[in-house]
Every structure is written in structure tokens, then in C-alpha cells.
């Protein structure tokens, strides 16, 4: 029931905007939305870099790479197409297979709202 309410609320949000650009502009004022989009962009860029490394540096086809990872070609393809939000361990495993490591660091968020 709660899920249906959420879908109903989303539909109302869409109906209150004339264009998709209006909706995006409105949502861009929401810091949580902006943060989620930034996180998704970072994940997308990392995965795109890993795919490029597989093709250019490791010089392996998707099938060859899947064998190295001991995964199905379909699973590797889903990862590369970013069908799902990958686990950190999956990203690390992929990186190691192309000769790289994932280095994480925490940095403070610089926002006026956090300083106040």
C-alpha cells in the first residue's frame, strides 16, 4: 500500500510540471536529488573507465574477461551496461582483473547548510 502511495505522489509530481525540463529544474533544487545524481554520475564514470581499461589495456573481449572473473558473460554485460547499482566488491574485483585497484577516501561535504 505504501508503494502505491509513493507512485501516486510521483505521478502528481509529474502532473504539476508542464515539461520534463520543468520537473528536472524543480528537482534540482532538492539537495538530496542533487546528491543522488552526483553519486550516480561517479559510479557511471568509474564503470565506464573500467570498461575502457578492459578493452584497451587488458585487450580482452567480454567473454574472455568473464572467464577470468569466473562469471557469465551476461553478468559482466549487465555490470558494463550499468543495469544495477553494483556492489563495491564487484567494482574492486573488476578493477583488479584489469590491473588496477580501487582507492576510496572520505572527504567533508562543503555546503553552507552544514556550516550553519
Please report the domains of the chain, with CATH numbers, ordered by start residue. 2-115 (1.10.260)
**CA dihedral sign of residues 87, 93, 96, 97:** negative
Asked if the model's pLDDT at residue 96 lies above 80, the reply is yes
Helix ranges (DSSP H) in the chain: 2-15, 20-27, 31-56, 62-69, 73-81, 88-97, 112-115
What pLDDT score was predicted for residue 6?
Answer: 47
Tell me, yes or no, if the pTM score tops 0.85: no
Amino acid at each position: 500500500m505504501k508503494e502505491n502511495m509513493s507512485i501516486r505522489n510521483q505521478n502528481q509530481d509529474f502532473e504539476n510540471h508542464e515539461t520534463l525540463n520543468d520537473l528536472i529544474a524543480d528537482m534540482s533544487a532538492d539537495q538530496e536529488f542533487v546528491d543522488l545524481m552526483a553519486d550516480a554520475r561517479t559510479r557511471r564514470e568509474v564503470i565506464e573507465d573500467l570498461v575502457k581499461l578492459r578493452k584497451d589495456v587488458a585487450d580482452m573481449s567480454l567473454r574472455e574477461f568473464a572467464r577470468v572473473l569466473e562469471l557469465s558473460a551476461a553478468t559482466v554485460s549487465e555490470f558494463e551496461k550499468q543495469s544495477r547499482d553494483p556492489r563495491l566488491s564487484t567494482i574492486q574485483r573488476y578493477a583488479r582483473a584489469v590491473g588496477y585497484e580501487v582507492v576510496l577516501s572520505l572527504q567533508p561535504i562543503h555546503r553552507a547548510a552544514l556550516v550553519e
